[in-house]
């Protein structure tokens, strides 16, 4: 596994980083455990002070950090700045709420005369976070802020193409006053990841990534009797009902599919359009996609980014070709993207049927699958005909109708009149092949704590 920074826009190899040695891994494990023994005893106020300082540092140097994200994985600079801001907001959410979320819970016992019972939430210890390249800072903040707030410490194994992003976040936390060892970045190999999971000082692992990586890591964690959480792929449905406000819906569809270059687990990948508005939607959506401008992601006028690497771009192109081979129609849209750089021409797939394997795939790039639904019930059935269950959305002028449809779609998240979005104050996670467990709000902070019962019983009470 080679850790390196390669500019996706130019293809230039900027810098390489050596893999961690086995000795470095063992030193980091020892340091993380030693840090945990002190960090777990700190007050919520102290932890909040560190996180607030980290949020302040993120905002103070927003442009600097955004440029690192854009350099390493190619997202447009405005979206990179928004990611830095979102990371700061996640920090601040737990600054304000962690102590309340982890407050002891008094239990309503059947006979109060016998004693008192409560559940407390104790930190577990050292955690391993395995994170992807598509949101280099947000993915860290999403696991780091709640788990530090809970009293745990973390080892980070980030994606191999964002090594500078990973190192920068460690520096932010150290500058904010986090003790040495409490959050460390390791340029670990796959073999070393298994070693870390098996180490008795490590109490759990959180992974965001591919289905394949999730299957391997969760299996390793299970064999080691460690808890794991997984946030994997998605093929979010974007349902358009016949009463949707079409122009605004199309605008959201174009954005929902193409932000971050279409490389989002919760991108609007499957457009499911009710039959009597299908042609109108397809025409207007095609026009909207055609207006996207591919180019230098550092240029604020660019609206379509390159993919994260040439390998990622090649994989998307291969999937398009395979979809066509099995009967789909692929229509390239808009001005030709630059020949150099990891670009993929925006493509609309139609005539994709359930006997086409692409019908069930996740396309991680600017590829839109447009599916026709006979009616509302058919739209729901199509939405649920997927191995994934991460997010989704439904567009309608009738909020009650939208809520009714949302309740019938099997996902971890459903939005009415908005593409699936990520916010500091909303939970994140899915079902089926999209993984298990939740991140953010109270659900995330409680994933890796011991919900311990303390029962104070009258000595004369019966057993």
Coil, helix or strand for 245?
Answer: coil
pLDDT score for 112: 85
Residue 114 confidence (pLDDT)? 83
Asked if residue 86 lies in contact with residue 413, where contact means CB atoms within 8 angstroms, the answer is: no
The secondary structure of residue 188, as a DSSP letter, is -
Which residues are known to be catalytic? Answer: 231, 265
Query: Could you tell me which residues are beta bridge partners of residue 416?
Result: 394
Closest-CA residue to 59 (of 79, 77, 86) = 86
Determine the pLDDT at residue 296.
98
How does DSSP classify residue 209?
S
Q: Are 69 and 134 in contact (CB under 8 A)?
A: no
Size of the chain, expressed as the number of residues it contains? 463
What are the chain's domains?
Answer: 3-232+430-455 (3.40.605.10), 237-416 (3.40.309.10)
Q: Quick one: pLDDT at residue 189?
A: 97
Measured CA distances, 428 to 216, 389, 410 (Å): 22, 12, 14
Dihedral, 33, 37, 43, 46 alpha carbons, nearest 10: -50
Confidence at residue 414, expressed as pLDDT on a 0 to 100 scale = 98
| Whole-Å CA distances, 223 to 25, 197, 228, 451 | 21, 10, 11, 22
Full-model pTM: 0.97
What's the CA gap between 16 and 160, in Å, rounded? 10
Could you write out the DSSP letters of every residue in 316-354? HHHHHHHHHHTT-EEEE-SSPPPSSSS----EEEES--T
> Contact at 8 Å (CB) between 172 and 23?
no
Question: Per-residue confidence of the chain (463 residues) as pLDDT tens digits?
Answer: 589 999 999 999 999 999 999 999 999 999 999 999 999 999 999 999 999 999 999 999 999 999 999 999 999 999 999 999 999 999 999 999 999 999 999 999 988 888 899 999 999 999 999 999 999 999 999 999 999 999 999 999 999 999 999 999 999 999 999 999 999 999 999 999 999 999 999 999 999 999 999 999 999 999 999 999 999 999 999 999 999 999 999 999 999 999 999 999 999 999 999 999 999 999 999 999 999 999 999 999 999 999 999 999 999 999 999 999 999 999 999 999 999 999 999 999 999 999 999 999 999 999 999 999 999 999 999 999 999 999 999 999 999 999 999 999 999 999 999 999 999 999 999 999 999 999 999 999 999 999 999 999 989 888 8
**Residue entry with tokens 């840090």:** 35
């Amino acid at each position: 596994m080679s850790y390196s920074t390669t500019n996706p826009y130019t293809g230039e190899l900027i810098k390489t980083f050596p893999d961690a040695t086995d000795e470095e891994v063992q030193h980091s494990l020892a340091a993380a455990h030693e840090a945990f023994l002190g960090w777990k005893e700190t007050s919520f106020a102290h932890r909040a002070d560190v996180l607030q300082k980290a949020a302040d540092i993120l905002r103070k140097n927003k442009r600097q950090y955004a440029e690192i994200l854009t350099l390493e994985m190619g997202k447009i600079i405005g979206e990179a700045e928004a990611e830095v801001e979102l990371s700061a907001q996640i920090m601040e959410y737990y600054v304000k709420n962690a102590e309340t979320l982890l407050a002891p819970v008094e239990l309503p016992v059947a006979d109060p005369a016998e004693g008192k019972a409560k559940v407390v939430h104790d930190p577990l210890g050292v955690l391993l976070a395995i994170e992807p390249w598509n949101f280099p800072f947000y993915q860290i903040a999403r696991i780091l802020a709640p788990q530090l707030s809970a009293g745990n410490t973390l080892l980070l194994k980030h994606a191999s193409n964002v090594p500078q992003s990973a190192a920068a976040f460690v520096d932010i936390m150290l500058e904010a006053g986090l003790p040495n060892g409490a959050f460390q970045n390791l340029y670990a190999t796959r073999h070393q990841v298994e070693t870390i999971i098996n180490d008795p000082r490590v109490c759990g692992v959180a992974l965001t990534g591919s289905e394949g990586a999730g299957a391997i890591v969760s299996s390793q964690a299970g064999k080691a009797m460690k808890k794991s959480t997984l946030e994997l792929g998605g093929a979010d449905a974007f349902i358009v009902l016949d009463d949707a406000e079409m122009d605004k819906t199309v605008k959201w569809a174009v954005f929902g599919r193409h932000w971050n270059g279409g490389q989002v687990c919760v991108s609007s990948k499957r457009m499911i359009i009710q039959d009597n508005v299908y042609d109108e939607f397809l025409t207007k959506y095609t026009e909207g996609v055609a207006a996207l401008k591919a180019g230098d992601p550092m240029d604020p006028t660019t609206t379509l980014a390159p993919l994260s690497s040439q390998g990622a771009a090649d994989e998307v192109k291969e999937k398009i070709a395979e979809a066509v081979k099995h009967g789909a129609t692929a229509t390239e849209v808009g001005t030709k993207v630059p020949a150099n750089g990891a670009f993929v021409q925006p493509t609309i797939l139609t005539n994709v049927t359930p006997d086409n394997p692409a019908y069930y795939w996740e396309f991680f790039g600017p590829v839109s699958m447009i599916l026709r639904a006979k009616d509302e019930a058919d739209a729901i059935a199509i939405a649920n005909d997927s191995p994934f269950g991460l997010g989704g959305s439904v567009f309608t002028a009738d909020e009650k109708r939208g809520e009714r449809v949302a309740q019938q779609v099997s996902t971890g998240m459903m939005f009415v009149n908005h593409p699936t979005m990520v916010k500091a104050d909303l939970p994140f996670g899915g079902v089926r092949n999209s993984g298990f467990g939740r991140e953010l709000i109270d659900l995330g902070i409680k994933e890796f704590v011991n919900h311990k019962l303390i029962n104070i019983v009258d000595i004369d009470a019966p057993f």
